[in-house]
């Protein structure tokens, strides 16, 4: 009996590639060269499933052009704004993702950005590597202390809640903005705000964790930035589209935002060139879930979803 055909658009961890090769006629991408839309369609010919990543754009036109054999699209991510879910549903194609397994890793990365930005770690590391460091000095690279500050979390989902839990160890008072208040057992003592103004005013440190969609696009704009305490720390480990880059860069130049840490960008891998000219911005290459443990877990859960769909079962990670 022939194995079902699975197209995997990028190189995946070795354990995931091995499982895919065992259970499927797997079309792998060991060179990890991003596919164009035309390449993806060509390679998907005869495939039962496509395992894509956020670097792939499966819009309505692309999904409409997929071969009739495709029954499931799996994305190696929690976010699925790069896949047109409605178009897939209209064609009877299931979409699965990787919920629940990357929350801790991404929250760790967000806290890394908070600390690195606030304590000017990027500047210090570059200074030492450049060979220009001349030794300790009383006023050298003075940043701002994080402990005891107010942390504002925009989007109190799983990742936001993990970040809140970590912040407790730094005696940070957590405030959050979301569409609805969480039940007390999930809120964990955090303070909910039902309007932007009070939330932003309470955010000495602002961490973005909302999904990327039309409602949240460029949510952090000039008006909202003006509502932050002067010198606030801003970090984004969610979606680059949440930030109005021009507004954030202007605020960093004036000191309205004191420090920033970014792991995601609008239009990545391209980033706004204005960020590169600012020393007090930490720039990382989308490392949120980049741990061995997490990426393996992501691969297994997405393969579980594909297995279930092709076996006629409803997967637990079905995007609805």
Domain, as residue range, for 49:
5-101+292-310
Q: Could you tell me if 277 and 208 lie in one domain?
A: yes
**In this predicted structure, what is the pLDDT of residue 147?**
98
- Whichever domain contains 199, its CATH number is 3.40.50.720
Return the structure tokens found at 108: 């760790």
Active site residues: 239, 268, 286
Residue 318 lies in a domain: no
Length of the chain: 320
What end-to-end distance do the CA atoms of the chain give, in Å? Answer: 32
Per-residue pLDDT tens for 160-196?
A: 999 999 999 999 999 999 999 999 999 999 999 999 9
Neighbours of 205 (CB within 10 A): 29
Q: Could you tell me if 141 and 232 lie in one domain?
A: yes
Kindly give the parts of the chain with pLDDT less than 50: none
Work out how many domains the chain is built from and give that number: 2
**Residue tagged 């008072």 (tokens):** 173
Contacts of 148 (CB under 8 A, 6+ apart): 170, 171, 172
Give one word for 171, left, alpha or beta, with left for phi > 0 and alpha for psi -120 to 50.
left
Q: Which helix (H) or strand (E) holds 293?
A: helix 292-310
Q: Could you tell me if 193 and 77 lie in one domain?
A: no
> To 5 degrees, how large is the angle CA 157–CA 54–CA 208?
35
Residue 320 lies in a domain: no
- Are 262 and 112 within 8 A, CB to CB? no
Per-residue pLDDT tens for 209-265?
A: 998 888 999 999 999 999 999 999 999 999 999 999 999 999 999 999 999 999 999
- Are 47 and 72 within 8 A, CB to CB? no
Q: Could you tell me if 97 and 113 lie in one domain?
A: no
Q: Could you tell me if 298 and 277 lie in one domain?
A: no
pTM of the model: 0.93
CA distance linking residue 192 with residue 194, whole number of Å: 7
Q: Could you tell me if 152 and 253 lie in one domain?
A: yes
Residue 316 lies in a domain: no
Q: Could you tell me if 232 and 245 lie in one domain?
A: yes
């Amino acid at each position: 009996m022939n194995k079902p055909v699975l197209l995997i658009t990028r190189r995946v961890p070795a354990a995931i590639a091995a499982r895919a090769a065992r259970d499927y006629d797997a079309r792998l991408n060991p060179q990890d060269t991003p596919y164009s839309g035309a390449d993806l369609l060509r390679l998907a010919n005869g495939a039962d499933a496509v395992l894509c990543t956020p670097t792939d754009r499966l819009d309505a036109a692309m999904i409409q052009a997929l071969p009739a054999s495709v029954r499931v699209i799996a994305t190696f991510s929690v976010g699925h704004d790069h896949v047109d879910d409605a178009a897939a549903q209209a064609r009877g194609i299931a979409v699965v993702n990787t919920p629940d397994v990357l929350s801790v890793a991404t929250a760790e990365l967000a806290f890394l950005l908070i600390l690195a930005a606030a304590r000017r770690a990027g500047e210090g590391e570059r200074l030492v590597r450049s060979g220009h460091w001349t030794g300790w000095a009383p006023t050298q690279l003075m940043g701002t202390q994080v402990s005891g500050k107010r942390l504002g979390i925009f989007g109190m989902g799983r990742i936001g809640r993990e970040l809140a839990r970590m912040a407790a160890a730094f005696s940070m008072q957590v405030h959050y903005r979301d569409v609805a208040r969480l039940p007390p057992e999930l809120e964990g003592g955090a303070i909910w705000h039902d309007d932007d103004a009070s939330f932003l005013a309470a955010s000495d440190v602002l961490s973005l964790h909302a999904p990327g969609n039309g409602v949240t696009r460029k949510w952090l704009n000039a008006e909202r930035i003006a509502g932050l305490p002067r010198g606030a720390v801003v970090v984004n480990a969610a979606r680059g589209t949440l930030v109005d880059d021009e507004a954030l860069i202007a605020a960093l130049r004036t000191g309205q935002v004191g420090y920033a840490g970014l792991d995601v960008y609008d239009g990545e891998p391209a980033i706004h060139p204005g960020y590169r000219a600012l020393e007090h911005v930490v720039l990382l290459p989308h490392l949120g879930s980049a741990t061995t443990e997490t990426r393996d877990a992501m691969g297994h859960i997405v393969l579980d979803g594909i297995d279930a769909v092709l076996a006629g079962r409803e997967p637990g990670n079905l995007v609805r």
